[in-house]
Amino acid sequence: DIQMTQSPSTLSASVGDRVTITCRASQSISSWLAWYQQKPGKAPKLLIYKASSLESGVPSRFSGSGSGTEFTLTISSLQPDDFATYYCQQYNSFITFGQGTRLEIK
């Protein structure tokens, strides 16, 4: 099974900050990686697929990069609506999620 490890687990930041979340796979997954945003009591929302493709309707301040085993999600300028939990997901071999990164207000 492919394991996904996100870092950090919690990130404190302010509105306007640039933040980066990292996701590492236990083996190469090519570019078969997605990023989701989840708010309390809601289903996850797809942000990025195929490592760097922005889902329709998602603001351009979100971007993804990486391939193989290391990936990043970057939010270029944090907005109040961005404080949430973020998950990476590999779909190279079935599905595995990272443990999540909680983005909180500093």
- Asked if 73 and 82 touch (Cβ cutoff 8 Å), the reply is no
- Asked if 23 and 33 touch (Cβ cutoff 8 Å), the reply is yes
What phi-psi label fits residue 9: left (phi over 0), alpha (psi between -120 and 50 degrees) or beta? alpha
Least CB distance to another protein at residue 52 (A): 12
**Beta carbons within 10 angstroms of residue 60's beta carbon:** 7
- Asked if 58 and 71 touch (Cβ cutoff 8 Å), the reply is no
**Does residue 50 interact with another protein by CB under 8 A?**
yes
**Does residue 11 interact with another protein by CB under 8 A?**
no
Least CB distance to another protein at residue 11 (A): 15
Q: d(Cα 54, Cα 81) in Å, to the nearest integer?
A: 18
The smaller minimum CB distance to another protein, of residues 69 and 86, is found at: 86
Binding mask 71-90 for another protein (x = CB under 8 A): ----------------x-x-
Which one of 10, 12, 79, 99 is in contact with another protein (CB under 8 A)? 99
Binding site for another protein (CB under 8 A): 1, 34, 36, 38, 43-46, 49-50, 55, 87, 89, 91, 94-100
